[in-house]
Structure 1
Amino acid sequence: MKETEIRGMVADVKEGKLSRRDFVNRMLAVGVTAPMSWHILDFHGVAQAQSLPRYTPTKAGGGGPLKILLWQAPTLLNPHFAIGTKDQEASRVFYEPLAGWDTDGNLVPILAAEIPSREKGTVSADGLSVTWKLKAGVKWHDGKPLTADDLIFTWQYAGDPATAATTIGTYQNIKVEKVDDLTVKITFPQPTPFWADAYVGAAGMVLPKHVFEQFKGAASRDAPANLKPVGTGPYKFVDFKPGDMLRGERNTEYHIANQPFFDTLEVKGGGDAVSAARAVIQTGEFDYAWNMQVEDEILLRMERGGRGKAIPVASGNIEFIMLNVTDPWTEVDGERSSVKTKHPTLTDPAVRQAINLLIDRDSVEKFIYGRGGKATANFVNAPAKFTSPNMKYEFNVDKANKILDDAGWVRGSDGIRAKDGKKLKFVYQTSINAPRQKTQAIIKQAAQRAGIDLELKSVTASVFFSSDVANPDTYSKFYCDMQMYTTTMLQPDPERFLLQLVSWEIANKENKWQGRNITRFTSKEADDAFKEAQNSLDPARRAALFIRMNDIFCSENILLPVLARTRMAASSNRLTPTLSGWDLDLWLLNAWFRPS
């Protein structure tokens, strides 16, 4: 970042156009540490009091409509079936967890009366239990009271394999007991250092027992509330057209005094990221747009003289490529990419190693993402204590060619390498999005120089990230050779994030492709490391185990990290959203406001 740009942002902070927190997040996005960012502001005499106005409402409502764009359109409103973040975000409008994560990685109570702790006696010293107390007086949108029975039900619902919930890994190995109408105790089978998983953040949204009780297990997909939610959140459901428009209205009995500020809510789905950015930053037609996966040059151009701004927020998200070690072209027992098959060419470690060398990460960062991402060789990139120092990336076409030569892959007359009658021809898919198509093109060009033919496939985002079990083009089915997308780390701890790497989470027909391990690759060493880390009360040992999991999958070139993603959003200059890199964008929607 140029000095003139930094000075311009400092001036914006002084004039109240940019908050101190947003300044720090933008500096983090280009590699400047938070302490150094605060020092820059202090050096220029920007006092804390000069940030944007603090929200101190005296009454709820009065803010008119809030208009949000999710260009990857939501298709369902049950958070426990959400495969893509878009469906988690849409569900979070209505459903709430006991607590969420703020931008500094701290727990914030939402439905909970308080955050459990050792000091209060609600987190056991042996790591075997945690006790949560519910806030009194919370009502579901239909007027029924929220009680401990709803928490018990949510645990039973999500933990039942027949329900096929994406959150099963959070709930299946715990026991939840009712202490009283507003208190539950979670018991863990073994010492559990990271107890803030069940009922917390994106995986923690509580469901109403009286609405979903008859739809447990095999009947889970038949619940009308999967599309017509009854939650406790700041907005009540009005209407939903999957893939298009979601509408809500202010919950007049919301459990937080004088909130929410806005009277109605519109969440528009569909389109593309560039159009969404333009509708917020340039035209002001919408107030907020999620997931600005847009070339940074375009965002910067829109911001000049526009009505809005791009907001970078540091996170643990990762844009990566995964390689399929199963056969996506052979059907076994009604599914392709079955663990009962092996990929004809990608099971060769030399081929996977060569492909990894053909990713020009530095160019993708410099010419496409800018503030939106930093080149990396690691799947886990934050917090720092969980980031491996062992992985390095390299772009080297000559080296890739030599590896393939040595492994016996010979170029044919068409320039494509082959061995034993099998050619290095792959279908490489991702969602429709300009930065992703440009990344695909960069990699395809390098692959051609190495004798590898890539067929590029682009799928509409609302389909690619859909939870529709009948659709063959969803990323969870992985019916291709390689695919690329961003996976979000919605906790300041990688435990749940790394469920993507364990054998018991493989996506398949039996679990309706809701398992989190999309690669289908398994490692006993990784499984053992995960199990030990779940129960290790030694922070250093636990971090080392998670780093080992990262290194196994990255060194095997099953996961090919491209960029550590900065979470980018677009916001009207007049809107003050409360964002966090460790939770959903809409995690604290009730606190959003528009300064007068």
Structure 2
Amino acid sequence: METKENRPKVQRSSILLALAVFLASLLLTACGAPSSAPETGGETAGPSQVIVIIPEEPASLNQYHAVAAIVRQVADAVSAPLAVPNENGEFIPVLAAELPTVENGGVSPDYLTVTWKLRPGLRWSDGEPLTSDDIKFTWEAVSHPESGNVLALGFEKIASIETPDELTAVITYKELNQAYLQQFMYGILPRHATGAPAEMLQWAWNRNPVSAGPYVVTQWNSGESIVMERNPYYYLEGQPYIDRVIFTIVPDPGAQIAMMAKGEAHVHLWPGETKEVYDAQVAGRAALQEVPGQWNMTLFFNLSRPFDGDPGPEPPHPILGDLRVRQAIAHAIDYDLIVTAVNPGTFPTATPFAYGWYKCDQERKYPYDPERAKALLEEAGWVEGPDGIRVAQGARYAEDGTRLRVQLNGYTNFQPLVKLEEALVEMFRAVGIEATIQNDDFSIIFGSYEDGAPRQVGNFDILVYDTSLPIEPQAAIENTYLSTAIPTAENPAGNNASRWVNPRADELIRAASATVDLEARRAAYCELSELIATELPRLNLYLFTEGYGASNRLSGYKVNMWGSLSWDIQNWKLE
């Protein structure tokens, strides 16, 4: 699972400051570039530069530490995986010479052995050879219990990796891994330029990576910008075409639009407007490029008591532990109003399995019906108080007199989310539920268990954010819905933040993991979807389109619902 995945509370002072950053960057030697490197040619005369607006600064460029999608939006420019999904949802080789399959002998008939072949002559940005040992090291590092890895990629299923030569990595699995093609899609790590796996969270590499991707970081101005220059050893000759890319951190939506309208930036991540509105705002200098997306706006209910020092599923949440309250909340939401007036341009969905080969046609179990919501709350022992907000009187888990108050926790600097939360507050109040809003920086809401992030330690009522599933979803599903995936000190990377425990869900997930039959797996996922829609550990609301604002001077890009903004940055051209 990923989260959208925007936000430091730092304001840019002026465009003059951005110009100063640029001029200063011209005087600095590239941090990741060697002193002697081969020449590579661009397609523009003189240095070319693209300004990319991002709403928040990534904490790191190590994608294995990233729940927040802002990291991937930037880090893909300096990352090089073995293979990635293209805009059509088809995996294509990057560092790999070809995709391993049963037909070409790269995958054994039982799917327990996968052989990857690297392209010959690959080098890191410091000029050192990139070899199969780096593939092995990536597994060793990411699978280390103290690495800080938060991604569910199935590395624990690997029994061994052998490297018979510098171009060949033979991976033996302990069990079936349907996601072998996406195993290394978040990048290969250089053994010689990182550090000990147990110290991965502290690697200097995380913010200044020796790269095999199109670019290398040359300057990181905290709260302002990340400057990147072309990787002189990139494997595609003559690419990338743009000499310099500056990811400029601009939290304020109005300032973002102004920069695009004045032609001061070329790419705008997550504009938060419909295409019609956005194209008018940027005055013909740019346009919103979008495709149907995978970001699924969701309410995550905490089924366990918060702030009790116990991250486990018991005791129940005093309010949300009662299914009838969760059903009432679902009935209180006007879903049509949300997708037509609150967040227009979005598409309603009632399931996390809303796209891809595993798509389920899930009906909404608890449609908009405020009168039914009120009746359920009365039945659950929540009676209307003098100010219209309900209080407990015979409720299952709450003491009598407890006010029916919940907090919505989201992330900052994303206007569609704020608009949604404000609408939910009014809808909830109409049935007697008081809701407050607390939005935090991405680094807080999506922080680690060790950092005490509310989502991981269970100190929240209702989380509000958009999440997604990859093309091959099994590992993410296991880490999100299995009852063994609840985050604890022993399992800090678990993603079952709702603390949902359902034995039938566990059975379905394990059945899907034991076969390569897509129809059988889809059937299991769709039954799981039915359980989720019925028991409401989470409530799916709508899908965003995927895209970004792009200057009319920029070409060569392809919007990819399965990738990031920078997934194909090596192909960008500036006129």
In 2: Cα distance, 1:494 partner to 1:272 partner: 34
Deviations 1:26-73 (A, max 9, x none): xxxxxxxxxxxxxxxxxxxxxxxxxxxxxxxx9436360121112132
Q: Give the structure 1 partner of residue 81 of structure 2.
A: 97
Deviation at 1:242, TM superposition (A): 4.2
- CA 1:284 to 1:302, structure 2 compared with 1: closer, same or farther past 3 Å? same
Which one of 246, 263, 278 corresponds to residue 299 of structure 1?
A: 278
Question: Which residues of 2 match residues 150-299 of structure 1 at below 5 A?
Answer: 150-167=134-151, 169-175=153-159, 176-200=161-185, 204-214=186-196, 216-217=197-198, 219-280=199-260, 282-294=261-273, 298-299=277-278
Q: Give the structure 1 partner of residue 289 of structure 2.
A: 311
Q: Mean alpha-carbon deviation: is it higher for 479-488 or for 494-503?
A: 494-503
In 1: Cα distance, 2:130 partner to 2:242 partner: 24
Alignment-mate amino acid for residue 212 of structure 1 = T
**TM, length-normalised to structure 2:** 0.85
Work out whether 1:403 is the aligned partner of 2:384: no
In 2: Cα distance, 1:154 partner to 1:504 partner: 25
Work out whether 1:74 is the aligned partner of 2:53: no
Alignment-mate amino acid for residue 340 of structure 2 = K
8 Å contact kept, 2:157–2:175: no
Q: Secondary structure at the match of 1:130?
A: strand
Deviations 1:182-217 (A, max 9, x none): 1112223334444322112xxx31111112242x12
8 Å contact kept, 1:169–1:505: no
Question: Which residues of 2 match residues 425-504 of structure 1 at below 5 A?
Answer: 425-432=405-412, 433-461=414-442, 463-466=444-447, 469-470=450-451, 472=453, 475-477=455-457, 479-489=459-469, 491-498=470-477, 499-504=479-484
Work out whether 1:113 is the aligned partner of 2:97: yes
8 Å contact kept, 1:150–1:208: yes
Aligned length: 523
- CA 1:238 to 1:331, structure 2 compared with 1: closer, same or farther past 3 Å? same
Q: Give the structure 2 partner of residue 363 of structure 1.
A: 337
Alignment-mate amino acid for residue 397 of structure 1 = P
Q: Give the structure 1 partner of residue 42 of structure 2.
A: 60
Q: Give the structure 2 partner of residue 387 of structure 1.
A: 360
- CA 1:496 to 1:582, structure 2 compared with 1: closer, same or farther past 3 Å? farther
Deviations 1:112-155 (A, max 9, x none): 11112222111222222221111111111111111111111111
Alignment-mate amino acid for residue 378 of structure 1 = T
- CA 1:530 to 1:227, structure 2 compared with 1: closer, same or farther past 3 Å? same
- CA 1:95 to 1:493, structure 2 compared with 1: closer, same or farther past 3 Å? same
In 1: Cα distance, 2:449 partner to 2:263 partner: 33
In 2: Cα distance, 1:165 partner to 1:522 partner: 24
- CA 1:101 to 1:481, structure 2 compared with 1: closer, same or farther past 3 Å? same
Alignment-mate amino acid for residue 444 of structure 1 = V
Unmatched segments (≥5 aa) in structure 2: 1-39
8 Å contact kept, 1:270–1:462: no
Q: Give the structure 2 partner of residue 346 of structure 1.
A: 320
Q: Secondary structure at the match of 2:181?
A: coil
Deviation at 1:100, TM superposition (A): 0.8
In 1: Cα distance, 2:75 partner to 2:303 partner: 33
Which one of 536, 544, 547 corresponds to residue 565 of structure 1?
A: 544
8 Å contact kept, 1:361–1:376: no
Q: Secondary structure at the match of 1:90?
A: helix
8 Å contact kept, 1:59–1:259: yes
Q: Secondary structure at the match of 1:532?
A: helix
Deviations 1:233-274 (A, max 9, x none): 111121224443211111122110110011111112241445
Deviation at 1:388, TM superposition (A): 3.5
In 1: Cα distance, 2:54 partner to 2:493 partner: 22
- CA 1:360 to 1:503, structure 2 compared with 1: closer, same or farther past 3 Å? same
Q: Secondary structure at the match of 1:454?
A: strand
8 Å contact kept, 2:114–2:171: yes
Alignment-mate amino acid for residue 377 of structure 1 = A
**TM, length-normalised to structure 1:** 0.82
Deviation at 1:514, TM superposition (A): 3.7
Alignment-mate amino acid for residue 157 of structure 1 = A
8 Å contact kept, 2:157–2:177: no
Deviations 1:425-460 (A, max 9, x none): 111121232222221121111111211110122224
8 Å contact kept, 2:67–2:151: no
Q: Secondary structure at the match of 2:407?
A: strand
In 1: Cα distance, 2:246 partner to 2:448 partner: 22
RMSD over aligned CA atoms reads: 2.3
Q: Give the structure 2 partner of residue 328 of structure 1.
A: 306
Q: Give the structure 2 partner of residue 53 of structure 1.
A: none
